[in-house]
Amino acid sequence: MRRSLRQLGAADLSGRRVLVRVDYNVPLEDGHVRDSTRLVASYPTLDYLRERRARPVLLSHLGRPDGVPDPRYSLQPVAHALAEQGGYEVRFAAPADSEAALGASSDLREGEILLLENTRFLPGETENDEALSQRFARLGDLFVNDAFGTTHRAHASTVGVARWLKPAVAGLLIERELAALDRLRGATRSPFVVALGGAKIGDKIGLLEQFVSRADRILVGGAMANTFLAARGINMADSLIEGAALDTAASLLRRAGGRIELPVDLIVSPGPDAEGEARTVDVESVPPGTMALDIGPETARRYRGAVLDASTLFWNGPMGLFEKETFAAGTDALVAAAAEATVRGAFTVIGGGDSAAAVTRAGLADSVSHVSTGGGAALEYLVEGSLPGIEALDEA
């Protein structure tokens, strides 16, 4: 176990500058924050610090500006959103490693929050550069990592800084994420149902390997199902298939002994934009010139039944190209089933950027046990049981 913010005493926090690594890698649109889920996820830690009269200094990255300042990736809109939506008194300083930032951190008054400009404007951030880590470390009297979505990266503001600034502890968001994921890694209540979809099998092989031996049922949908179906010798016409993963898919199917369930019907269409031509077909009869873009209604009905029977559910990756209404029915059915299973007492966790977006879109984010804010980080933790950004923190 790693030390958490909650284990620090009042004297550790009162009046102190607390350097907090948050994950404000949010989508921007016309200079505004389009989805503030990640901001809201940081409020418990910010409020906890302010109630204890600490002075929070926030570091975050946004996008991939590659070590050079780029106004398109400025955190200025985030500072506005924190003030307007969060009601915080926010100061903003750039760049994050400058004398100006250091001055702003010393001048920060109780009740205020300082947000520093995008850490990825600085060369050395993604290389976990030691000198940059030390400059970050000067900005606070202690370090709190609460950027769960970035904990699988060893960067200067997530890993390097924790070596030079002590105590270095986990924030409340990370604490909550790990508690949910630890429950999935430990002895889970049966039936343990795993639903996997989305686009990239390659990235999720480790996860599949782990669950093939632990889950009672693995429901596969989305483009991932295409690859499994193709590995079974089924003609998938123009569907998105990961050729490099075909052998692995075949080997997983052999080892899973029926625990991997594949679609029995599909929604196909000549392409993602040909929504008017979408139709339901049997899995054995995908017509030439079409691609599978969602699970079919019979598959959705079966998967829904499996989810309702679950005592434990982990779901990653949408069941279809859910960004388009025509291909969202399978994903929406699973979201609804997950919420119902939760009411019946199941422990339900949904992880992955797109999957989380699907739950939020359905307005059901509060109706499941946990929605993980970190896609890659959550998957890596489930497989490895550790993350570089967590390992860098103090032992409890």
Binding site for ligand ADP (CB under 6 A): 197-200, 222-223, 240, 292-293, 316-318, 320-323, 352-355, 375
18 contacts: CB under 8 Å, gap ≥ 6:
49, 54, 55, 56, 57, 140, 141, 142, 143, 144
| Alpha-carbon separation of residue 374 from 174, 177, 181, 220, 278 (angstroms) | 10, 9, 11, 21, 33
Which of the following is catalytic: 183, 185, 200, 301? 200
Query: In this complex, which beta carbon is closest to ligand ADP, that of residue 39 or of residue 334?
Result: 334
Q: Is the distance from CB of 221 to CB of 341 less than 8 angstroms?
A: no
Region near Mg ion per CB under 5 A, out of 39-47, 218-226, 349-357, 384-392: 349-357
Q: Which residues contact 274 (CB under 8 A, 6 or more apart)?
A: none
Least distance to ligand ADP, CB of residue 313, Å? 15
Q: How far apart are CA 311 and CA 305, in angstroms?
A: 12
Segment contacting Mg ion (CB under 5 A): 118-126, 161-169, 328-336, 354-362? Answer: 354-362
- The partner in contact with residue 317, picked from ligand ADP, Mg ion, none with C-beta cut-offs of 5 to 8 angstroms by kind, is ligand ADP
340 binds Mg ion (CB under 5 A): no
**Cis-peptide, bond into residue 191, ω within 30° of zero:** yes
The residue (of 67 and 353) whose beta carbon lies closer to Mg ion is 353
Look at residue 323 and give the partner it binds from ligand ADP, Mg ion, none, a contact being a CB closer than 5 to 8 Å depending on partner kind.
ligand ADP
Catalytic-residue membership of 200: yes
Residue 353 found at the interface with Mg ion (CB under 5 A): yes
Is 87 annotated as catalytic? no
Q: How far apart are CA 252 and CA 271, in angstroms?
A: 29
- Is 204 one of the catalytic residues? no
Distance separating alpha carbons of residues 255 and 243, to the nearest angstrom: 20
Closest to Mg ion by CB, 56 or 352? 352
Backbone angles phi, psi at 97, to 5 degrees: -110, 10
Shortest distance in whole angstroms from residue 245 CB to Mg ion: 17
Measured in whole angstroms, the distance separating CA 183 from the mean position of its chain's CA atoms is 17
- The residues of the shown chain that bind Mg ion, judged by CB under 5 A, are 353-354
Task: Enumerate the active-site residues.
Answer: 38, 200, 353, 376
